[in-house]
Amino acid sequence: MSPANATLIEEAYITPIKSVLFIDDNFPTHADLLEEKLAGDTDDAAQGEAMLLKGVALHDPASENMFVDGDTKEEPRTSTAGDTADMPRHVRNLIRSCRERGYIFDIENNLTNIERDHYAFINKADLVVLDYYLTQSDDAQHSLKILQNLAISPRYNLVIVHTHENKFDVASEILFSMQGCSKKAINFDRIQNKEEAIAQINSNISHILDNNKAAIDKIFEITQCKNPDIVRKFINNTICDYFTRTHTALENLSIKSNISTTTTPWIATQNAFIVITEKKPADNQTLKDLIDELARAILDFNPGIITTTLQKCINISKENTYNILKESFATTDIRAATLYLAATEYDTLHGHQDRSAILSHKLVGMLLESATSGLAQHASGYCERLLDVTFNAQALNRASNCIQCEGSTCDEKTLHLHANSILCSERTIPHRLTTGSIFEHSGTAWVCVTPACDLANISPDKASSMIHLEAIKLDKINDNIKLADLMKDTARGNGIFITKGSNVTAYSIYIGNKTSICINNFLIQGSALLKEGKITLYKVAFDPKKGEARTVSAEYTVIGQLRPNYASRLLAHKGSWKSRIGVDFINHP
């Protein structure tokens, strides 16, 4: 473990922890203790311990004396062997260590409270410590449902699953539930050596769930079946039988894991990082011990530079709201002007189906644009250290280094395609057709080169008026040789790159081998506002038989938007006949 990396991970993920929620049926809640005190119960700590030693869940009031700071008498020990005898001490150690670290903490042991409102209650703490068995039976269904809901919740969650069982077995069952395995009805007559294969699968479940190639290849070797689909279904059914249950798959859940080759098994989904640890009451285990395991697991996961930086910026925005506000919006006058600009289309958008999205995009966009300098200033030292640790000790070239750091599998050509797409096009589709908008119809694409000032909204009483729009017809590059030629000389500005999903589409502003651009003219009726990313455009066509012109309309889909600087450059270089100053100022009435 690199000390520098460990420090950076701790600063982004561990230091920001301020609140902890314990979910455990053997922990007393604050309400339990308070109700006992108000009832005048005089039971001492030994009675509370006796309840724990008997395996009684503390849904009933327990003695608050177990958790009082300062000197406490030694709890009477019994002859009960193993971890159970140390449970009261274990509970107290975890609670006390919360106070020592300055955490706000809460405890919940009531499943009704936990599961209400689709588990909304548990999605508020910075760290959740979850007991694997929340009932007195060996049934983990409740905790598995909690983990599944945290994995798809809107907020990112750090979760420590705490268990008396073998942590690798527990990690296997959690990962199995996340993957949504269910038994498949299929004939397995083509599978050879079934008993040996089942034994091999059952003894290597964690490796198989981790997608370990060697473990999976071994099953193929034993079964002697050449149909990979049948073998995978056989493996799936065997694992379902091992856990004696099946699970419903979570849609679009991205999962990474290491539950087989690490000292602390972990599972990472898009909105939850789950670490599995074992309860060790006899070792005076504290919350610091659990968090140290969490930090090691995150380091093993290696979330990447981009994700770690985003996490750091989120924490900065929480802790420095006032300073960022002061730096970015120094006076109430500036804040009022920002709000005024964000509301310029408030009245004209009434009735528009995308009204809320457009208004939000304008307001939030202006806030983030102004706050960027404040965030960057507070994150500057961290970002410098992060990049120094990443690049200074590396012998690889920069492109390969970046691919490796983010765990990507792309080649350098794909990396440069994505880099050019980031440079020239926005990440989101605009709410109106403007300079640099890329739109398509029936597989043909164009980029708008009409100045933005000519595409301004027409007033409602002139809704029948037409706006003239000019666009360069684009040539989609599907040929690898043409793409290589375009990539060699991107600085000339002849290419346009936009991201669709996870792929980059490249266009040339020249059709085929021509050296001149192809301009097409369109008309917009009334407004350039989009509706669900689409707009109706009109073209003028001449009918030679009738000797007259007529308009033909079609619906066009906006698929991308050039960044302002790139759009202006394209207009200046390739549309100089239309280029002129057209800054949007606000007239004072």
pLDDT along the chain (589 residues), means of 10: 76 92 83 67 49 41 37 36 57 86 87 76 87 83 88 89 92 85 76 92 90 91 90 88 68 82 90 92 84 94 89 86 79 86 80 82 83 85 87 72 86 91 88 92 93 69 72 92 86 86 90 84 87 90 78 92 87 60 53
Q: What is the pLDDT of residue 285?
A: 86
Report in angstroms the alpha-carbon separations of 518 from 446, 464, 475: 10, 29, 10
Instruction: For 81-115, give one letter per residue: b (16+ CB within 10 A) or e.
Output: eeebbbbbbbbbbbbebbeeeebebbbbbbeeebb
> Does residue 391 contact residue 401 with C-beta atoms inside 8 Å?
yes
Residue that is written with structure tokens 């177990």 in the block: 66
Report in angstroms the alpha-carbon separations of 247 from 68, 140, 182, 217, 574: 42, 12, 6, 25, 57
Rg of the chain, C-alpha, whole Å: 31
Q: What is the pLDDT of residue 132?
A: 92
Strand intervals (E) in 150-238: 157-163
Q: Which residues contact 524 (CB under 8 A, 6 or more apart)?
A: 433, 455, 466, 467, 469, 535, 536, 537, 538
Q: What is the pLDDT of residue 507?
A: 94
Q: What is the pLDDT of residue 215?
A: 92
Helix (H, G, I), strand (E, B) or coil at 444: strand
Distance CA 303, CA 407 (A): 9
Report in angstroms the alpha-carbon separations of 8 from 231, 374, 391: 43, 21, 14
Look up the pTM and report it: 0.75
Joined together, the tokens standing for residue 123 give 């999605």
Q: What is the pLDDT of residue 247?
A: 60
